């Protein structure tokens, strides 16, 4: 049987138009020219199809064939995803390189998941049991950190009539399920899922657990919930990549999917070189054992970037379905939006704001809405979550541009990076006045129960002081500190300590880079004690503020971050000493 094919009539960069395509379907994968470049049908008009090609199209011209495959653009899911480094359409970079040298060749078809590798499949169900979609039927130890759950594929259910333990490749049959109609379905460890459609879950849950990142300004002031969506907009050099990577390194998600849309030529190369070297601070194991990397270096065609975020989010959902907490970082989604804009331009669609397509908003929302805390599909009470953190690089730092605006509409956390803070080398350069989290109420129960009863109060008071500080700074700029009352000076003194001793955090210092929630609480509590105790004395007649500043205990606060985790009594002692010293000024 000969393959069904159309004929190219036009090539414009990553866009190819072909005729004779009346049997093609939207989002069908096609192979373009005899080189078999991977493409996807993105528009159909009678028997003409517009095809987005994921590989370099130079040298391809009208008259050449386009082969239909009948498949939609999908990812392969199964053991072997972790530790992989893929391009935007899930081709393993290492294998492509082996086939074609360091410049990625064209038309190379390598499977996303190894067909040879064997995994020790351990069933968790027995024959005769009834199973339904999403049910876990067995496990394999995918890496030292992660047990990979093998689930019944979506749309399948019935009686388990066969289950095979032992060493299996992803294509070997591990189970046979007999449907109600008597049809026998073979189950392998390999599943496919179309990337543009979100995977089924068993219902959403309210996200109430914080994603613990160890970065103090994020956890304490602007918390993200597990299953939430957040964005990090910031101008060039303000710290988007460092922030994303620090979160990827330290956050308490069990699985990390990192999608890098190469910003500058060699930036992704940094990630590719660095990531495999990183160690999980909790287990000492290489971080890659819980990570999937998707990399678009700048020499890859623009269309692959468009696909890469969907490839990433589908893999992330798959691990969520097993009952894991998954975090996906996309850096930077602006490059993704630009890819959309370029394709839209070539399709001669009506442009929206700043040339972006009118569907930028719905695509952005569609992506972030795949985040969520869910009950997993299947029986039992497995819960999973997918947290999405997208970096945005607005040109010139102008937050009113369409990508930032559309992102802010759908994410509930805004970590605003600030060029001025970065220039002053205050890191992380997250602006505490403009940033926000709409999850603070969601996670407050966790803080109160797991960290400290007054944690929410201390945090709220600290935020208030930082806001007051910004108002007072105006006055100071005009007339100097002398015009301020001792009470106002107390506000300034405490907020300075919040900024310098608490919010400032060096991501490159192994100890400082991660702070547990309890330590975050204690650090802030000690600092806030300056304010709490100070309030009792500042209204006294003839009070000299300089005496407070010169108290020996004030020097100890600067070193509060050096008190080790677990030595809570040292924090308590410091707190008492601050109160006592300040009260002695009475
Ligand atoms: P962007 O991705 O926004 O262009 P980067 O993340 O590459 O910016 O950050 C630029 C530089 O700022 C880094 O190379 C680093 O020197 C500094 N930096 C950013 N964040 C931190 C941090 N948390 N701690 C220390 N240095 C930082």
96 is a domain residue: no
282 is a domain residue: yes
- Return the pLDDT at 177: 97
Same domain for 245 and 146: no
Range of the domain at 364: 204-437
Protein residue with least CA distance to atom 17, ligand 1: 239
Range in 215-224, 377-386, 443-452, 476-485 the model is least confident about: 476-485
Same domain for 494 and 393: no
78 is a domain residue: no
Which helix (DSSP H) or strand (DSSP E) does residue 460 occupy? helix 455-479
Q: How confident is the model at residue 523 (pLDDT cuts 50, 70, 90)?
A: very high
Protein residue with least CA distance to atom 16, ligand 1: 239
**pLDDT digits over 389-418, tens only?**
999 999 888 899 999 999 999 999 999 999
Asked if pLDDT for residue 305 goes beyond 70, the answer is yes
85 is a domain residue: no
Distance CA 99, CA 109 (A): 10
**pLDDT digits over 223-277, tens only?**
999 999 999 999 888 999 899 989 998 999 999 999 987 655 555 666 777 777 8
Q: Give mean pLDDT, residues 87-94.
A: 86
In short, whether 216's Cβ falls inside 6 Å of ligand 1 is: no
Same domain for 293 and 147: no
**Contact (CB, 8 A) for 5 and 68:** yes
CA of 242 to the centre of ligand 1 (A): 5
Q: Which of 164-168, 274-278, 304-308 has the largest mean confidence?
A: 164-168
CA of 268 to the centre of ligand 1 (A): 15
Q: How confident is the model at residue 1 (pLDDT cuts 50, 70, 90)?
A: very low
- At which of 189, 216, 235 does a domain end? 189
**Contact (CB, 8 A) for 512 and 505:** yes
Same domain for 215 and 180: no
| Maximal CA-CA distance, the chain | 99
CA of 427 to the centre of ligand 1 (A): 8
Same domain for 418 and 270: yes
450 is a domain residue: no
- Return the pLDDT at 117: 96
CA of 238 to the centre of ligand 1 (A): 6
CB atoms within 10 A of CB 3: 10
Distance CA 418, CA 522 (A): 27
Distance CA 269, CA 246 (A): 17
Same domain for 372 and 416: yes
**Contact (CB, 8 A) for 294 and 260:** yes
Which helix (DSSP H) or strand (DSSP E) does residue 157 occupy? none
- At which of 72, 93, 109 does a domain end? 72
563 is a domain residue: yes
pLDDT more than 70, % of the chain: 95
3-state secondary structure of 101: coil
**Contact (CB, 8 A) for 494 and 560:** no
H-helix segments, 28-160: 93-100
Instruction: Choose which residue among 219, 242, 244, 246 to substitute to test ligand 1 binding: the one with the highest number of ligand atoms within 8 A of its C-beta.
Output: 242
In short, whether 238's Cβ falls inside 6 Å of ligand 1 is: yes
CB atoms within 10 A of CB 110: 15
304 is a domain residue: yes
- 422 Cα nearest atom in ligand 1: 12
Distance CA 331, CA 464 (A): 32
- Mean predicted lDDT score pLDDT of the chain: 91
- Return the pLDDT at 201: 95
Distance CA 307, CA 315 (A): 13
- 234 Cα nearest atom in ligand 1: 3
Distance CA 8, CA 214 (A): 53
- Tell me, yes or no, if the pTM score tops 0.95: no
- Return the pLDDT at 319: 98
In short, whether 239's Cβ falls inside 6 Å of ligand 1 is: yes
Distance CA 259, CA 383 (A): 24
Q: Is 513 exposed, middle or buried (0-12, 13-18, 19+ CB in 10 A)?
A: middle
CATH of the domain at 140: 2.40.50.100
Q: What is the DSSP letter of 351?
A: B
> Which residues are within 8 A (CB) of 121 and not within 5 positions of it... i.e. 6 or more apart?
138, 139, 140, 150, 164, 165, 166, 167, 168, 174, 189
Which tokens go with 241? 């990549």
Distance CA 64, CA 310 (A): 29
CA of 198 to the centre of ligand 1 (A): 33
Asked if pLDDT for residue 102 goes beyond 60, the answer is no
**Contact (CB, 8 A) for 294 and 258:** yes
- At which of 165, 189, 213 does a domain end? 189
In short, whether 335's Cβ falls inside 6 Å of ligand 1 is: no
Range in 81-90, 310-319, 489-498, 537-546 the model is least confident about: 537-546
Q: How confident is the model at residue 541 (pLDDT cuts 50, 70, 90)?
A: confident
- Return the pLDDT at 384: 97
CA of 431 to the centre of ligand 1 (A): 14
pLDDT more than 90, % of the chain: 74
Same domain for 185 and 214: no
- Beta-ladder partners of 159: 130, 178
CA of 237 to the centre of ligand 1 (A): 6
341-367 burial, b if ≥16 CB within 10 A, otherwise e?
bbbbbbeeeeeeeeebbeebbebbbeb
67 is a domain residue: yes
**pLDDT digits over 430-446, tens only?**
999 999 999 999 999 99
- Return the pLDDT at 241: 87
> Cα dihedral angle (504, 510, 514, 515), rounded to 10 degrees?
-80
Total domains in the chain come to 4
- Beta-ladder partners of 41: 51
- Return the pLDDT at 277: 81
Instruction: Choose which residue among 239, 266, 510, 561 to substitute to test ligand 1 binding: the one with the highest number of ligand atoms within 8 A of its C-beta.
Output: 239
**Contact (CB, 8 A) for 160 and 140:** no
CA of 96 to the centre of ligand 1 (A): 31
CATH of the domain at 314: 3.40.50.300
CATH of the domain at 62: 2.40.30.20
- Return the pLDDT at 451: 97
Distance CA 306, CA 313 (A): 12
Range in 453-462, 480-489, 529-538 the model is least confident about: 480-489
Which of the pair, 576 or 27, is modelled with greater confidence? 576
Same domain for 170 and 127: yes
Closest to 524 in 3D by CA, of 586, 446, 463, 448: 463
Q: Give mean pLDDT, residues 323-338.
A: 92
In short, whether 260's Cβ falls inside 6 Å of ligand 1 is: no
């Amino acid at each position: 049987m000969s393959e069904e094919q159309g004929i190219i009539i036009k090539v414009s960069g990553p866009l190819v138009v072909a005729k004779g395509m009346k049997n093609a379907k939207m989002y069908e994968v096609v192979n373009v020219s005899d080189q078999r470049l991977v493409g996807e049908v993105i528009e159909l008009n009678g028997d003409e199809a517009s095809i987005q090609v994921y590989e370099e199209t130079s040298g391809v011209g009208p008259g050449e064939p386009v082969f239909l495959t009948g498949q939609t653009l999908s990812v392969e899911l199964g053991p072997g995803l972790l530790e992989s480094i893929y391009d935007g359409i899930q081709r393993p970079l290492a294998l492509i390189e082996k086939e074609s040298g360091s410049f990625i060749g064209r038309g190379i078809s390598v499977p996303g998941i190894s067909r040879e590798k064997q995994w020790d499949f351990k069933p968790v169900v027995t024959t005769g049991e009834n199973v339904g979609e999403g049910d876990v039927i067995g496990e394999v130890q995918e890496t030292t950190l992660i047990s990979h759950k093998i689930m019944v594929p979506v749309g399948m259910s019935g009686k388990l009539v066969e289950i095979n333990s032992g060493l299996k490749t992803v294509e070997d049959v591990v189970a046979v399920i007999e449907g109600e109609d008597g049809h026998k379905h073979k189950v392998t460890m390999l599943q496919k899922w179309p990337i543009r459609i979100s995977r089924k879950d068993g219902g959403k849950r309210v996200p109430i657990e914080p994603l613990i990142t160890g970065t103090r300004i994020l956890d304490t002031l602007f918390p993200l919930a597990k299953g939430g969506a957040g964005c990090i907009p910031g101008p060039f050099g303000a710290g988007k990549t460092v922030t994303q990577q620090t979160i990827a390194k330290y956050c308490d998600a069990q699985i990390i999917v990192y999608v890098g849309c190469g910003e500058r030529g060699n930036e992704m190369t940094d990630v590719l070189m660095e990531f495999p070297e990183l160690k999980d601070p909790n287990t000492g194991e290489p971080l890659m054992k819980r990570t999937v990397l998707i990399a678009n270096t700048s020499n890859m065609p623009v269309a692959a970037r468009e696909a890469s975020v969907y490839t990433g989010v589908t893999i992330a959902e798959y691990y969520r379905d097993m009952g894991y907490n998954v975090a996906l970082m996309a850096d930077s989604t602006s490059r993704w939006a630009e890819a959309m804009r370029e394709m839209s331009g070539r399709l001669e669609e009506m442009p929206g704001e700043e040339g972006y397509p009118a569907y930028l908003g719905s695509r952005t929302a569609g992506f972030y809405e795949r985040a969520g805390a869910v009950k997993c599909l299947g029986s039992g009470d497995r819960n999973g979550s997918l947290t999405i953190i997208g970096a945005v690089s607005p040109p010139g730092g102008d937050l009113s541009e369409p990508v930032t605006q559309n992102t802010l509409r759908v994410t509930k956390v805004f970590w605003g990076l600030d060029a001025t803070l970065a220039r002053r080398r205050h890191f992380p350069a997250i602006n505490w006045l403009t940033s926000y989290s709409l999850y603070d109420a969601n996670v407050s129960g966790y803080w109160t129960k797991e960290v400290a009863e007054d944690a929410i109060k201390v945090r709220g008071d600290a935020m208030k002081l930082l806001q007051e500080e910004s108002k007072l700074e105006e006055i100071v700029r005009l007339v100097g500190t002398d015009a301020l009352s001792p009470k106002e000076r107390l506000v300034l003194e405490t907020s300075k300590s919040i900024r310098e001793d608490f919010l400032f955090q060096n991501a490159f210092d192994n100890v400082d880079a991660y702070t547990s929630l309890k330590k975050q609480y204690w650090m802030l509590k000690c600092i806030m004690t300056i304010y709490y105790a100070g309030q009792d004395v500042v209204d006294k007649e003839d009070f000299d503020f300089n005496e407070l500043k010169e108290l020996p205990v004030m020097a100890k606060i600067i070193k509060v971050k050096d008190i080790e985790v677990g030595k809570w009594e040292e924090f308590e002692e410091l707190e008492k000493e601050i109160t006592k010293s300040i009260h002695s000024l009475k």
